[in-house]
């Protein structure tokens, strides 16, 4: 992807938690429609990176820009460009699927939140459940609705934090199918996962984060999936640099 179409620019990003460095001088650029999967052990800083981009946590130093909007200087416009999916649904159990999407759509000042909500509910196959409260939804249904919630503002960048956690095989397959649609819709995606098979299958760039440092970053088509597990182990041992 050409640098001229960069949607996400991260430079010199660091984050300290009470003296412990969670992210260390991280630099990364992603273009429109790129899908980056980030692997790494627990505590590597993957979720911290997503939370900083999502403006849920402040960086200690460094800069993040999305489509030219700076995280610090244009926080509201910056957030308009983002969607965030984690293993938590961020949905209100007491509200129906439709009400949840209309509420979030209204927060993003969408012209017709009802129409947008209906469109998204059809896309995630929950249209027939639109008047049911989310509290009664299965984990898989919640996650599909969570995708709809994250897309309600038509974001340029989607952040996925372990989206497959807690899903059964069928729900995981369905979610993977929906996530692949994001590529067709030209969304720029960063996905953090421990699921190597799915992570490799979906991405067109692969990164490995270890102790807050991006120790490996390469295009998916330059990686042999069969050898990736070994590459990952070597990266953890500090024997790989991209």
Query: Angle at the Cα of 51 (from 50 to 55), degrees rounded to 5?
Result: 115
Q: Which of residues 80-139 bind another protein (CB under 8 A)?
A: 80, 82, 84, 86, 88-95, 99, 103-104, 106-109
DSSP-derived 3-state class of residue 227:
helix
76 part of the interface to another protein, by CB under 8 A: yes
Q: Which of residues 197-236 bind another protein (CB under 8 A)?
A: none
User: Please, which residue, 150 or 235, has the CB nearer to another protein?
Assistant: 150
| Neighbouring residues of 123: CB distance < 8 A, sequence distance ≥ 6 | 148, 151, 178, 181
The answer to whether the beta carbons of residues 130 and 96 sit under 8 Å apart is: yes
User: Please, which residue, 137 or 232, has the CB nearer to another protein?
Assistant: 137
Q: Least distance to another protein from the beta carbon of 61, Å?
A: 16
CA distances from 236 to 41, 124, 158 (A): 8, 37, 26
Q: Least distance to another protein from the beta carbon of 54, Å?
A: 6
Q: Which of residues 25-54 bind another protein (CB under 8 A)?
A: 51, 54
User: Please, which residue, 93 or 239, has the CB nearer to another protein?
Assistant: 93
User: Please, which residue, 145 or 235, has the CB nearer to another protein?
Assistant: 145
DSSP-derived 3-state class of residue 228:
helix
Between CA 151 and CA 154 the distance in angstroms is 5
Nearest to 219 by CA among 203, 235, 236: 203
55 part of the interface to another protein, by CB under 8 A: yes
Between CA 161 and CA 156 the distance in angstroms is 17
154 part of the interface to another protein, by CB under 8 A: no
Instruction: Say how many residues touch another protein, by CB under 8 A.
Output: 30
Q: Least distance to another protein from the beta carbon of 7, Å?
A: 17
User: Please, which residue, 115 or 201, has the CB nearer to another protein?
Assistant: 115
Phi, psi (rounded to 5 degrees) for 10: -120, 125
For residue 124, the cross-strand partners are none
Residues of this chain that interact with another protein (CB under 8 A) are 51, 54-58, 76-77, 79-80, 82, 84, 86, 88-95, 99, 103-104, 106-109, 149, 153
């Amino acid at each position: 992807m050409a640098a001229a179409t960069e949607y996400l620019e991260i430079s010199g990003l660091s984050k300290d938690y009470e003296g412990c460095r969670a992210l260390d001088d991280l630099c990364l650029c992603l273009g429109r429609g790129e899908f980056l999967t980030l692997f790494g052990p627990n505590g590597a800083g993957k979720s911290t990176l997503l939370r900083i981009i999502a403006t849920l946590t402040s960086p200690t130093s460094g800069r993040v820009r999305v489509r030219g909007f700076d995280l610090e200087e244009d926080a509201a416009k910056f957030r308009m460009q983002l969607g965030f999916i984690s293993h938590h649904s961020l949905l209100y159990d007491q509200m129906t699927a439709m009400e949840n999407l209309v509420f979030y759509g209204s927060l993003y000042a969408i012209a017709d939140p009802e129409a947008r909500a209906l469109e998204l509910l059809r896309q995630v196959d929950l249209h027939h459940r639109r008047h049911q409260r989310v509290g009664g939804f299965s984990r898989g249904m919640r996650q599909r609705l969570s995708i709809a919630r994250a897309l309600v503002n038509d974001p340029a960048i989607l952040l996925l934090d372990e989206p497959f956690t807690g899903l059964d095989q069928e729900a995981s397959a369905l979610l993977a199918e929906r996530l692949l649609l994001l590529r067709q819709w030209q969304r720029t995606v960063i996905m953090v996962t421990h699921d190597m098979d799915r992570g490799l299958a979906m991405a067109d760039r692969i990164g490995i984060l270890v102790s807050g440092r991006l120790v490996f970053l390469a295009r998916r088509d330059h990686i042999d999936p069969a050898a990736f597990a070994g590459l990952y182990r070597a990266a953890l041992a500090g024997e790989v640099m991209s």
